[in-house]
Amino acid sequence: MGKLVIDGGNKISGEIGVQGAKNAVLPILAATVMADGVCTLKNCPYLRDVDKTDLVLERLGCRVHRAGNTVTVDTRGMCDCKICEDLMREMRSSIIFLGAIISRCKKAVVSMPGGCPIGLRPIDLHLKALRELGVDIQEEHGYIKCSTDKIVGGNIHLDFPSVGATENAMLAAVCAEGFTTITNAAREPEIVDLGNFLNCMGAKVRGMGGSVIKIEGVSKLHGAEYTIMPDRIVAATYLAASAITGGEICLKNVNPRDMVAMLHVLLDMGVQLRIEKDKIIQKAPKKLESIHIVRTMPYPGFPTDIQSPFMALATVARGTSIFIENIFENRFQHVDELTRMGADIKVEGRSAVVRGVNALQGANVVARELRGGAALVVAALAANGTTTIGGTEFIDRGYENIEKYLLECGAKIRRE
């Protein structure tokens, strides 16, 4: 396990090309198992979770090859329908393979998933959706065993617009007999990206980005070439890193229309933004203003994944900010570490009150989950003195070479 060592107080200014989206590439990689042929995915980021997903594919019998940011998957030799327990424990998103494997093999066996310890993320919605498509599901001794003679289209209503459940339902339904309607579907841009990829493979999916998705089942899917969307959470993290240090930054390869809620918060904090088609140019003020209230919500609301990096911004803003976490009940694990750096934060239940201080101080801190780790990096960039951040394996799950990009923009950062 490595550490990031950051000497704070340097402006983050320059230009960054944003990586492909973690939350888009993982379900798209899972979807490749349904192809009768070869899939070529471009703009795939170098991430621990991508490496683990590639390993899942290889253990299922697929051939995976990476050349730069392009990953090629040949699933014609797939010979297994079980994902081993060690991989499921390491990466919660591996549950997304469930719908894809069932679609191809009509059976699947997976253990209960793991991932970042940010609170309960029950998969009952996933299983309920699959049952609506005619899948028999048995839960035995920590394993989920699925089987069906055939997948039949149906009407699926999600009690909550879960991204993972929407994706699993889409994956299982694209080759089902008949039509499937998913209501109260998740509307995230990553859902749109998955639907676009499936359509490139020959699926017939409509309505992605809205609350109702309609799918006409097809007999089979073919290989395809596809470019993964930019990562909106990574983009917002780099904007936060520049804003907290008073820098000027230009982000390339972004979709600003996917980031409206986050950009509005930054505007409220006093930054200047110039938005172009695939570019965001930001200039930070000398002193950030506080955020009145931020409530995390499903898209198009403020995303839970950027709550912690933006809380780091609020620690040095003028005034008091309030964060209300509506998605995960254990997503304030970064608070104690920020407090070690001199932040003034009080937590009660799912609410955190942040009173801005004049400056943070370098300290030894530990990342306990992915986005909380990013928050510590953001805070360390502005802190007086040196900060050492342990738990970099969490940060590496979602940020490609974070120290490289920040170093190129003026940070004093190294990995040990």
Catalytic residues: 116
- 149 annotated among ligand-binding-site residues: no
- 23 annotated among ligand-binding-site residues: yes
- Residue 131: DSSP 8-state: H
- 305 annotated among ligand-binding-site residues: yes
CA 390/CA 4 separation, integer angstroms: 7
- 136 annotated among ligand-binding-site residues: no
Put residue 385 in one of left, alpha, beta given phi > 0 → left and psi -120 to 50 → alpha: left
- 230 annotated among ligand-binding-site residues: no
User: Considering just the CA atoms, what is the radius of gyration of the chain in Å?
Assistant: 21
CA 301/CA 134 separation, integer angstroms: 33
- 231 annotated among ligand-binding-site residues: no
- 125 annotated among ligand-binding-site residues: yes
CA 240/CA 249 separation, integer angstroms: 10
Q: Pull the structure tokens for residue 135.
A: 């899948």
CB neighbours of residue 131 within 10 Å: 15
- 155 annotated among ligand-binding-site residues: no
Matching residue, tokens 């017939």: 204
Matching residue, tokens 């080759």: 175
- 122 annotated among ligand-binding-site residues: yes
Put residue 342 in one of left, alpha, beta given phi > 0 → left and psi -120 to 50 → alpha: left
Binding site membership: which residues?
22-23, 92, 121-125, 305, 327
Binding site membership for phosphoenolpyruvate: which residues?
22-23
Binding site membership for UDP-N-acetyl-alpha-D-glucosamine: which residues?
92, 121-125, 305, 327
